[in-house]
Structure formats: C-alpha cells, structure tokens
C-alpha cells in the first residue's frame, strides 16, 4: 500500500478532473490531509468550510436514521 500512502504527501490542488473528485469525495483522503492545513494557513474560503460542515452533518443524520430503521427491523436468527 505504499502508493496509496503517497496521496497524503501531495496537496489537494495537484489533482484535477476525476482524480480530484475521487480523492476529495469518494475516498476523502485529500480533505483529511489538506483541509486542516489550508484552513490554518488561511488559504481556504470560509464558505468551503461551512459546506463541508453541513455536508458532514447531513450524512451523519442520514446514517443515524438508517441505523435506527435497521435496528427496528432487525430480528435475530434465534428468534
């Protein structure tokens, strides 16, 4: 897995097109590694931080409701 670890060392702005979409949203490695340092350096607009916070909150709510529905429909093998 050394090739995948190399992604952590490269800034998010290097990636373009489908690669940027992949490392930013499908496997959010670029966001986890680059966004905190970009915020601390003042290179990220505030609306982008708000967008990611709302995006995270919405998916957390979806996950929570999915979990609740799954638990209510669960029936064990033993009865």
Min mean pLDDT across 4-8, 17-21, 24-28, 65-69 is at 4-8
Supply the mean pLDDT for the chain.
Answer: 79
Q: What does the H/E/C string look like for 21-60? A: HHHHHHCCHHHHHHHHHHHHHCCCCHHHHHHHHHHHHHHH
Give the number of residues written for the chain: 79
pLDDT at 64: 97
pTM of the model: 0.55
Asked if pLDDT for residue 3 goes beyond 70, the answer is no
| pLDDT for the residue numbered 49 | 82
* pLDDT score, position 1: 45
């Amino acid at each position: 897995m050394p090739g995948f670890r190399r992604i952590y060392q490269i800034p998010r702005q290097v990636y373009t097109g489908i690669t940027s979409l992949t490392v930013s949203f499908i496997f959010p490695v670029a966001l986890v590694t680059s966004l905190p340092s970009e915020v601390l350096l003042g290179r990220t607009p505030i609306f982008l931080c708000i967008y990611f916070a709302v995006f995270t909150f919405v998916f957390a709510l979806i996950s929570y409701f999915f979990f609740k529905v799954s638990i209510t429909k669960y029936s064990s093998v033993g009865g």
